[in-house]
Amino acid sequence: MSGPVERTGQLRVVVADDQAAVREPLAAVLGLSEGIEVVAAAADGREVLTAVAAGPVDVVLMDLRMPVMDGIETTRRLAEEYPGVAVVVLTTFADDESILGALGAGARGYLTKNAGRQDITRAIRAAAAGQSVLDREVQDRLLATARTRAPERGRALPVDLTPREREVLALIGRGLPNRGIAEELFISEATVKTHINNLFAKAGIRDRAEAVRRAIEAGLA
């Protein structure tokens, strides 16, 4: 399958939204951002897949409610067929089903349409680097959902988690992004990413949403 190729210094982005009044201005504004090139604008999921196949594409800025193929199904298809392409959701919806569905499908970022240009470009760059960015409303919603659904508060974590990995998991449970964790622990974001990769592997955690739930179940958040 085609996908990202060697970087040229520009992040190649597809903007997906079924409303032209949103899609076209957003593409134009992002195209003015340093280091970002908007290579396509898509009105539905099928157009996204076509644009990615024509590639190369680094990040898709994805609306959720689109005709033909919605954003969650498109994200799932991208994760399966083009795992090197990162997805950042940008939507008006911040309900449990939308958030958990998108993150479970493989989205690396989730923003609501209240996000400003700087928030969006930061999320695009983070996603391209393999990091996750969730806006505050989404983080709060995840925490509330996890606390409601946590069935076994105090559930044990793997015994081989290091004290630092437990600290990182606790901070994920509080909703902190990688940068916030790095600042809290006085370590680099690269080191945070290494700890996250290790604890996810040891604990069998698939994504950040599950990490929040596991932190709460273990009594860390």
Angle, helices 189-203/208-217, rounded to nearest 10 degrees: 70
CB neighbourhood size of 95 (10 A): 10
- Residue 56, preceding bond cis, omega within 30 degrees? yes
Q: Using one digit for the tens of pLDDT, what is the confidence trace for 186-199?
A: 999 899 999 999 99
Q: Using one digit for the tens of pLDDT, what is the confidence trace for 31-68?
A: 888 899 999 999 999 999 999 999 899 999 999 999 99
* pTM more than 0.75: no
CA-wise closest residue to 29 among 116, 107, 102: 116
- Strands 11-16 and 36-42: what pairing? parallel
pLDDT at 217 over 80: no
Q: Using one digit for the tens of pLDDT, what is the confidence trace for 157-188?
A: 888 889 999 999 988 887 777 888 888 899 99
pLDDT at 87 over 90: yes
DSSP 5: -
Q: Where does residue 204 fall: left (phi above 0), alpha (psi -120 to 50 degrees), or beta otherwise? A: left
Dihedral pair phi/psi, residue 68, rounded to 5°: 70, -60
pLDDT score for 4? 40
Give one DSSP letter per residue of 79-141, joined into a string. HHH-TTSEEEEEES--SHHHHHHHHHHT-SEEEETT--HHHHHHHHHHHHTT--EE-HHHHHH
DSSP 59: E
What end-to-end distance do the CA atoms of the chain give, in Å?
40
Q: What is the mean pLDDT of the chain?
A: 84
Distance CA 125, CA 121 (A): 6
Distance CA 107, CA 126 (A): 12
User: Sorting pLDDT into bands at 50, 70 and 90, what band is 105?
Assistant: confident
CA-wise closest residue to 54 among 108, 105, 121, 5: 5
Hey, is 19 helix, strand or coil?
Answer: coil
Question: Would you say the C-alpha torsion 73, 138, 89, 106 has a positive or negative sign?
Answer: negative
- Answer with the residue of higher pLDDT: 36 or 216: 36
pLDDT at 93 over 80: yes
